[in-house]
Structure 1
Amino acid sequence: MAFSSLEIDAHEVQGLAETFKRAEREAPLAIVRAIKRTGDMSKVRVVRALTKQTGLKRDVIVRAVKAKPAGMSYSLHSRGGNVHLKYFKARPTKKGVSAAPWNKRRIFAGTFIAHASGGGSMFGGQVFKRTGASRLPIEAQRSGLHIPKEMISGATAAEFLAAVRTILPVRLQHELARILGGAG
């Protein structure tokens, strides 16, 4: 008579139990790492989208958008008011200054860029408009665009949410696989 058996030896699973104990200890840190990496990657996407959406140069957007990682959360903040026209590639024309807020070039009638007597630009290329009948007073012109408002609307907000939806699960899986020793 033939006899056969299947047997489970607890010593073979002991290593797996140790791996799960380590995973339980290190999981919060893995989640924090995944959130930070996802946040950093989404900031790059937000800066790219905000640059296209506003018409501002990338370095202006990079200075305006700040990342704040804090443990299990990551937030992007920006501040600023009504942006001056000079930041939108302003250039003088016969009818006024041409600038491109929201990446749409148009002419702002009756405006000018003050020039120094040597041919250089005074006031750093600021766009002005006369507020009275004589030469003075003049007033610096603004675009009506606010970076904080633009950051939470349109393509920029959609890009941030899409980045979080696609990147975070992959990063979390990657970090947990590191804890489990490459399994995953």
Structure 2
Amino acid sequence: MAISIKWADKHLMQFAKDIDRLSREFPKVLPRIVNQVGDKAKTQVIRTLTKQTGLDRRVIVAAIGDPRRAHGGKLSYDMITRGGNIRVKYLNAKETEDGVVAKPFGRTATYEGAFMKGGVFPNRTDVPQFGGHAFYRLNPRGTKITFVRSGVVIPDEMTTGATGAAFDKIAAPLLQERVDKAITKLLR
């Protein structure tokens, strides 16, 4: 799943004539401004998304990846993220007698009946083939298992709540301010 948000085009329309002139006379200025503002917004999105989802920062950075940056023919900065329903393993999961405990969305949740180890309590042992993942049994004998999912979907979380608000709070005003300064400095 990929969600692409383009905010540059909408906000740059306010300065249409000046921007057109700026693009012709100084073709590298606007893409540089859009990329600088996009980088600042990306930093805020990563910080906020880490708190909002409960995932480690490195998982968020890997999911967002490298943005598509603005250049001479394109004045937009696209953050494209990937990730489906995240497995509980990435949320600091721990096995307890009742099941697996993890922190999706920054809140503790218990996944009853889930397991991460083999054996009988209290002498449970790690199973190398599990790779730290949590599982549910699909049949009574336990011969069929499936991963435990957290309900955290990074593309959805990136566009909602505190993360979406942080992006809007940083990107639009800062872009407008920097474009206005460039127009004032270079054209007037």
Q: TM-score, normalising length from structure 2? A: 0.75
1:126-141 equivalences in 2 (<5 Å): 126-141=133-148
What is the distance in 2 between the residues matched to 1:140 and 1:24?
A: 51
2:60 is the alignment partner of 1:61:
yes
Counterpart position of 2:96: 93
Q: Does the 8 Å contact 2:83/2:153 carry over to 1?
A: yes
Counterpart of 1:35 in structure 2: which amino acid? V
Counterpart position of 1:113: 116
Counterpart position of 1:158: 165
Q: Secondary structure at the match of 1:107?
A: strand
Q: Deviations over 1:109-168 (max 9, x none)?
A: 000103599756542210011111113211111112211111111111111111112321
How many pairs are equivalent? Answer: 160
What is the distance in 2 between the residues matched to 1:24 and 1:60?
A: 37
Following TM superposition, the consecutive aligned residue runs of length 4 or more in structure 1 with deviations greater than 6 angstroms are none
Q: Does the 8 Å contact 1:114/1:128 carry over to 2?
A: no
What is the distance in 2 between the residues matched to 1:26 and 1:61?
A: 39
Q: Does the 8 Å contact 2:53/2:105 carry over to 1?
A: yes
Structure 1 portions without partners, runs of 5+: 1-21
**Aligned sequence identity (%):** 38
2:150 is the alignment partner of 1:147:
no
Counterpart of 1:102 in structure 2: which amino acid? F
Counterpart position of 1:169: 176
Q: Secondary structure at the match of 1:108?
A: strand
Report how far residue 173 of structure 1 moved: 4.2
Quick one: structure 1 residues 118 and 101, their matched pair in 2 at CA, closer, same or farther if it must change by over 3 Å? closer
Counterpart position of 1:74: 77
Q: Does the 8 Å contact 2:117/2:125 carry over to 1?
A: no
For the pair shown, which has the larger CA radius of gyration, 1 or 2?
1
Q: Secondary structure at the match of 1:76?
A: coil
What is the distance in 2 between the residues matched to 1:157 and 1:175?
A: 27
Counterpart position of 2:7: none
Q: Does the 8 Å contact 1:27/1:176 carry over to 2?
A: no
Counterpart position of 2:130: 123
Quick one: structure 1 residues 179 and 130, their matched pair in 2 at CA, closer, same or farther if it must change by over 3 Å? same
Quick one: structure 1 residues 161 and 91, their matched pair in 2 at CA, closer, same or farther if it must change by over 3 Å? same
Structure with more strand by fraction: 1
* Two-structure CA RMSD over aligned residues (Å): 2.5
Report how far residue 175 of structure 1 moved: 3.9
Counterpart of 1:149 in structure 2: which amino acid? D
Report how far residue 25 of structure 1 moved: 4.4
Q: Secondary structure at the match of 2:77?
A: strand
What is the distance in 2 between the residues matched to 1:24 and 1:75?
A: 20
